[in-house]
Amino acid sequence: MLRNNRLLWGLTAFVAGYWILGIFFVPGTQITALASLALLFGGLMTLSQYAPVAYRIVFEKLRNDQIPEGYGAHIAVLSTTLLAAGAVWSGFATAAWVHSGQPQAWLDGPMMGFGRYLMAGGFFGAHVSPLMTRDGVSVTRAWVMWAAAFAILVFGIFVGALMARPDLVMVHASCAPTQPIKGNVSRRGHLYHEPGSPSYAITIPEGCYATAGEAVMAGYRKAY
């Protein structure tokens, strides 16, 4: 039943959390940076978990019947699926970005970072799966160290970005209801986006305007 499917609800929260943060709370390229950092740490965690076993498999002829772990095999399968889905998303998103003229607004929104986010989740699951037992997974000292290092790095990068370009960090992806037209500067030029247009939700505005006419007077042309 859906009500008792904790794994399904956890995946739903995992995906929804990214888009809620990316669209409403984390501005500019920060969401892409966070996804990249999560991917970095997910990869490092997984490498630390699997590299010793890989060494034993290659050099000491370790085989399946000698490995006691295995209860978390379903998590390993799910993690591999997330890694593949992340790679597919990143490939299609990059292809669509190039086909659309490489709009800067895409780089400043959550779309380009979602593949990294999925792969970060896949690496985290791959790290956890061999540690699982029927009683769950205990929080180890290594987990606390990984979490602390990630938090420190994120904080340092955010503070550094704020000091270097406070205008980029503080700009939010939305305009006031009285000025819903978003003016954005991209490689395609000065464009304005109206509510309902394809890129409106992910566009970071350089200016907000009450009408399209005001945006045109400010030097913007309509985005298609």
If asked whether residues 121 and 186 sit together in one domain, one would say no
Distance CA 38, CA 149 (A): 11
Give pLDDT tens digits for 176-193: 889 999 998 877 788 999
Residues 19 and 100 in one domain: yes
Residue 114 lies in a domain: yes
Number of domains making up the chain: 2
Residue 213, domain extent: 181-222
- Do 147 and 192 share a domain, yes or no? no
pTM to 2 decimal places: 0.58
Quick one: 61 and 151 in the same domain? yes
Q: Are residues 201 and 112 located together in one domain of the fold?
A: no
Q: Decide: helix, strand or coil at residue 208.
A: strand
On whether both 86 and 189 belong to a single domain, the answer is no
Is 176 among the domain residues? no
Say whether both 38 and 88 belong to one domain. Answer: yes
pLDDT of residue 163: 58
- What tens digit of pLDDT does each residue of 69-113 get? 566 777 888 888 999 999 999 999 888 888 888 777 777 678 888
Same domain, 201 and 124: no
Token digits of residue 114: 């979602």
3-state SS class at 101: coil
